[in-house]
């Protein structure tokens, strides 16, 4: 199996912060694989996915490598980056209405990138746009519409069609269903799954919803304060978390089939960027934390007996099943 995206020891530092925003992220996506990157706001999940397209915040300094199809994005020339964004990797944003110019027709939006960056002729580009619209379940008539005439769900399909225009090897979806209704979410997720099968692309699905991540992906990465807390096959991770943060996140999510009453909330809040971190970034909120946790940051190491899983916790053996942290 070929690896489409390979991020290794990726560091990202912003000016005026006490700690790196991303502190050694390791993440891979294979061809035809769906990988979910889960975290709360400020965890660095969106920064990670944007880095794959070379979209770095102003003044950022980086370390490590972010390889797409074997080429490091961090050292690419602007010209090469543009080609990467046109034809190798594509991104689907959270709010389709904010990501499409409301004054242009859908047809212009879809064909623009191919015509300007890949030099495709207008005719060929339009043919491709029609093909992609049909792939996402929309008719060619949409080409002449304006964004304001389409519903949120339809617009997100247009976004997906746009992402497929350059026949990318990798699709980055940054909270693509958060702005949509729950029933529409299922439709968009089903579509993404079908297209991944059909076109053989890798999919990195960035979300805050652990339930959604477990439901749709092959593997999950859980991120906290700029580090990977835990990674592994979706079902196993959901069934038996090996990091206290994952366990706590699962327990604090209200579920329709759980009994009424208080939730096991995680007290406190994630560390800010102005605070320097020594030791484990979750230690301050963790029921299992010991002196060791406050002194030494745990490494992301394989879980005993489960080679596909890795976790960054000193006390992973003390985490129970499904009930999370037995503290």
Partner 1 sequence: MRKTVLEVLGLHRSYGGVRAVDDVSLTLAEGRSLGIVGESGSGKTTTARIIVGLERADSGRVLVHRRDRTERGRGRADRLARAREVQMVFQDPYLSLDPRMPVATVLRETLRLHFPGTDHERRIAELLDQVGLGPREAAALPRQLSGGQRQRVAIARALAVEPAVLVLDEAVAALDVSVQAQILNLLADIRAATGIGYLFITHDLGVVRCVTDEVVVMRRGRIVESGPTAEVLARPRHPYTRLLLDSVPVPGWDPRRIAAARRAL
* Nearer CB in complex with partner 1: 108/209: 209
Residue whose CB is less far from partner 1, 65 or 178: 178
From residue 308, alpha-carbon distances to 33, 58, 220 in Å are 15, 36, 11
Q: Where are the alpha helices (DSSP H) in the chain?
A: 45-52, 78-83, 96-99, 106-117, 122-135, 152-164, 182-199, 210-216, 234-239, 244-252, 291-295
Q: How far apart are alpha carbons 232 and 158 in whole angstroms?
A: 32
d(CA 233, CA 228): 14
Choice between 10 and 282, CB closer to partner 1: 282
C-alpha span between 67 and 70 (Å, rounded): 5
Please, what is the minimum distance in Å from the beta carbon of residue 74 to partner 1?
29
* Smallest separation, CB 24 to partner 1 (Å): 23
How far is residue 312's CA from residue 122's CA, in Å, rounded to a whole number? 51
- The neighbouring-strand residues paired with 302 are 310
In the complex, what is the shortest distance from the CB of residue 244 to partner 1, in angstroms, rounded to a whole number?
Answer: 12
Where on the chain is the footprint of partner 1 (CB under 8 A)? 40-41, 152, 181-187, 189-191, 193-194, 208-212, 214-216, 234-235, 238-239, 248-249, 252-258, 260-267, 269
The residue with tokens 């769906």 is 34
Query: What is the smallest separation between the CB atom of 205 and partner 1, expressed in angstroms?
Result: 11
The distance of closest approach from Cβ of residue 162 to partner 1 in the complex, given in angstroms and rounded to an integer, is 21
**How does strand 301-303 pair with strand 89-92?**
unpaired
Shortest Cβ 275–partner 1 spacing (Å): 14
């Amino acid at each position: 199996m070929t690896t489409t995206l390979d991020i290794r020891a990726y560091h990202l530092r912003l000016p005026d912060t006490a700690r790196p925003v991303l502190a050694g992220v390791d993440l891979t996506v294979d061809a035809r694989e769906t990988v979910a990157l889960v975290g709360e706001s400020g965890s660095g999940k969106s920064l990670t996915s944007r880095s794959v397209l070379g979209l770095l915040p102003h003044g950022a300094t980086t370390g490590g490598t972010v390889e797409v199809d074997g080429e490091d994005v961090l050292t690419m020339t602007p010209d090469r980056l543009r080609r990467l964004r046109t034809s190798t990797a594509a991104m689907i944003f959270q709010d389709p209405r904010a990501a499409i110019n409301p004054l242009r027709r859908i047809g212009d939006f879809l064909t623009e990138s191919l015509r300007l960056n890949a030099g495709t002729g207008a005719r060929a580009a339009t043919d491709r746009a029609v093909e992609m619209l049909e792939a996402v379940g929309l008719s060619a008539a949409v080409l002449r519409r304006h964004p304001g005439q389409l519903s949120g769900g339809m617009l997100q399909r247009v976004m997906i069609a746009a992402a497929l225009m350059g026949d990318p090897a990798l699709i980055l979806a940054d909270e693509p269903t958060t702005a949509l209704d729950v029933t529409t979410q299922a439709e968009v997720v089903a579509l993404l799954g079908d297209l991944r099968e059909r076109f053989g692309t890798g999919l990195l699905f960035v979300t805050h919803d652990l339930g959604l991540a477990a439901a749709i992906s092959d593997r999950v990465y859980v991120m906290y304060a700029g580090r990977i807390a835990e990674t592994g096959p979706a079902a196993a991770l959901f069934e038996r978390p090996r990091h206290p943060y994952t366990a706590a996140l699962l327990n604090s999510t209200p579920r329709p089939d759980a009994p009424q009453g208080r939730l096991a909330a995680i007290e406190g809040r994630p560390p800010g960027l102005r605070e320097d971190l020594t030791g484990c970034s979750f230690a301050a909120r963790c029921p299992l934390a010991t002196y060791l946790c406050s002194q030494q940051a745990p490494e992301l190491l394989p879980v005993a007996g489960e080679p596909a899983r890795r976790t960054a916790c000193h006390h992973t053996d003390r985490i129970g099943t499904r009930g999370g942290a037995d503290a």
